[in-house]
Amino acid sequence: MNQIPQQEIDEPVDVVVMAAGRGTRMKSSLPKVLHRLGGRALLSHVIQTAAQIGARNVVVVTGHGAAEVEQAIGSSNAAVPLQFVRQVPQLGTGHAVQQAMPVLPDDGTVLVLSGDVPLIGADTLRALLETSAGRRLALLTIEFDDPTGYGRIVRDIDGESVQAIVEHKDADEEQRAIREVYSGVMAVPARLLKDWLARLDNRNAQGEFYLTDIVKLAAIDGVPVLAKLTTDALQVAGVNSPTQLAALERAWQLRQASTLMEAGVRLADPARFDLRGTLFCEADVEIDVNCVFEGAVSLGAGVRVGANCVIANARIDTGAVIHPFTHIDGEKTGVTVGAGALVGPFARLRPGARLGADVHIGNFVEVKNSTLAAGAKANHLAYLGDATVGERVNFGAGSITANYDGANKHRTIIGDDVHIGSNCVLVAPITIAAGGTVGGGSTVTKSTEPNVLTVSRGRQVSFGDWTRPKKAPKA
């Protein structure tokens, strides 16, 4: 990856993202640029990078599935001004960029990106813009051992400037032997690009208007064409098939894992780790295999996450342990797990769960929109929904808060040091006052006083000389 100082680009930058392709090799009804990598659409990655370099505008050229792409991307990217133009019919890459030119001013540099090349880096783009400097055509290139299918970079005799990009289908044998290829990324002054696009023709093997033909026009006009060579194949890798998408996903995840391990996180196996959002880790975090992190997740110092957990939009504080097979998803509301808490295995924390310090949530316990104060425990087979639970409460196995009356949700309040026995139903709205005990098997519909025992169940009756029914003998 090209490493240059983080700095603002002097000239205004307008980004054109080509996202009109059908993506037939994906064999999917979903437009190719909406397929996901790292939990986000391919196109979203590109737009986010454009925002990182301070782009003035981003113009997305849509075609196949245009309405679906525009709706999905337009509602999820607010970091940069975003416009859509449509390419109908689709007559080549040059024709695609032509559709964007009417909405772009003449005073900036146009950066052309591809919606199916998601991992292009902001530093790489800054370096390319620096090469262009608002007056040159700059191309991002890479060398491949097997360049089949890519446009070849034809340099002049001294090897400094680029004379042409020759598409694979139009290249002769000598040109096909060239290993340096065009990545699909270029930076070019807008005023020059508009003139060159107007002069394109489609006299080639495909009968299309090639954007790469502007290199020849630049040479004719005496405008320098420079190539910025990258050695990072991942940044210029495109997605054309499910196989390529899977390979890029794994390469991306390995990079994420390496970054975390370099910061001190212990991953049991970096090849079995998935980050589909952002993950912040303090010191001495341990993560076992097959864990998935989505949205924004923060892990405090010494947190341990067991195998096969899914954690999304959550903050887990110092020393907490998330046992295997736990599912935490805060969605928009978030989930908080306090210091030293124990969660799982096979537990589920839903939006609005707030666990205090040293809370225990055990196997097959579900918590939703509920706060549990320090030291509270629900160790087995329980449901806590829309509840406020005090300190040191013990919530018994098989017990639930009945929070929904068929139309509205109601809240259950459980005071400090309450003991709820097994298989109890607390019918909200209700308050179990501090120090109270609810006997096992009780259905409680009325609030209780402090420090009382509440039992609500039918009297036990036993019948002697009783015989179980037996099946009638077969005829």
Residues annotated as catalytic are 380
Are 165 and 134 in contact, with CB atoms under 8 Å apart? no
Cα 451 off chain centre by: 49
Nearest to 151 by CA among 75, 30, 50, 238: 238
Residues comprising the chain, all counted: 475
| Cα–Cα distance for residue pair 186/97, rounded to 1 Å | 12
Q: Which residue has the tokens 């308050």?
A: 431
Are 209 and 93 in contact, with CB atoms under 8 Å apart? yes
**DSSP-assigned states of every residue in 363-420:** ET-EEES-EE-TT-EEEES-EEESEEE-TT-EE-TT-EEE-B-SS-B--EEE-TT-EE
Are 411 and 369 in contact, with CB atoms under 8 Å apart? no
| Cα–Cα distance for residue pair 199/211, rounded to 1 Å | 11
Q: Is 226 helix (H, G, I), strand (E, B) or coil?
A: strand
